Homo-oligomer: A and B are copies of this chain.
Amino acid sequence: MPKRKDKLTSAIGWSTPDRINVHGLDLPSEVLGHVNLGDMAFMQVTGRKPDARESVVFNAIAVTLVEHGITPSALVARLTYMGAPESLQAAVAAGLCGLGTVFVGSMEGAAKMLYAALPKGTDGADLPAIAKQVVADHRAAGKIVSGLGHPVHKPVDPRAPRLFEIAAENGMSGDYVALIQLIQQEAEAASGKALPINATGAIGAICCEFGFPEEIIRGFGVMSRAIGLVGHILEETRDPMAFEIWQRAEEEILETSGPGRG
């Protein structure tokens, strides 16, 4: 539990009758029209505007996380909206609730693994040796390596090389990107299976290049997916699938588990 404190404080911003300040900047004159939505997300997390290169890389990460097709999360938002169309916000909220350890958590897991293997500020590390150790430790513990492997995208997740390219073009490709690539090679060699770096692995590594605190990395997935879910809800208003999915499930269960079967 946190300690009691005398006064509540917040460095995010403030407003008076004629001024609105966020992260030390005047919102109307210094932010609106000057930054894009990804930059604003960067500001919320770091407290400062990204420079031009950081902006490109961070926006690419955030854009990657917006849309992953008919995910469980998208199904949840659509099914929820069917029951409460007056509460679009609750349908998005419901969709976000499932972005836990199984899906979005792998981004956080990749970053944690990289930070643990190569603490921030380390210089001149023997990356191949570290990669070998990481893979050996995971194999000894019977654990999969976060950020590697994809059920569909084999032998390559096409987002990963593109994200690494964007990072490299903008000076954001350093030891963490190199390390996850070495870990991937080790893991493939050790397992004899295709284990591509997936999008969450690439993003986890690039987040380490930014130095983002690991406990907030999942938040990038959450914010981006909120955007994606609004798109799914809009499509659901025009071309619904929730009702059909529900009816099929009910009918199938009545057939398998109904009177005389259950």
Residues of A within 8 A of B (CB): 1-5, 7-22, 24, 27-29, 31-33, 35-41, 43-45, 55-56, 59-60, 62-64, 66-67, 69-73, 75-76, 79-104, 151-154, 156, 158-159, 161-163, 165-166, 169, 213, 215-216, 218-224, 226-228, 230-235, 237, 239-247, 249-250, 252-259, 262
Contacts and interface: CB of A to CB of B under 8 A. Distances in A.
Given A28-B158, A89-B99, 17 more contacts: A4-B247, A7-B256, A8-B252, A9-B256, A17-B154, A33-B60, A37-B37, A38-B38, A44-B67, A44-B227, A69-B253, A72-B80, A80-B98, A93-B93, A94-B97, A216-B230, A219-B234
A66 B94 contact: no
Contacts of A249: 8, 70, 75, 241, 245
Contact of A4 (B45, B165, B244): B244
Contacts of A8: 70, 241, 244-245, 249, 252-253, 256
A104 B104 CA distance: 24
Contact of A40 (B31, B66, B89): B66
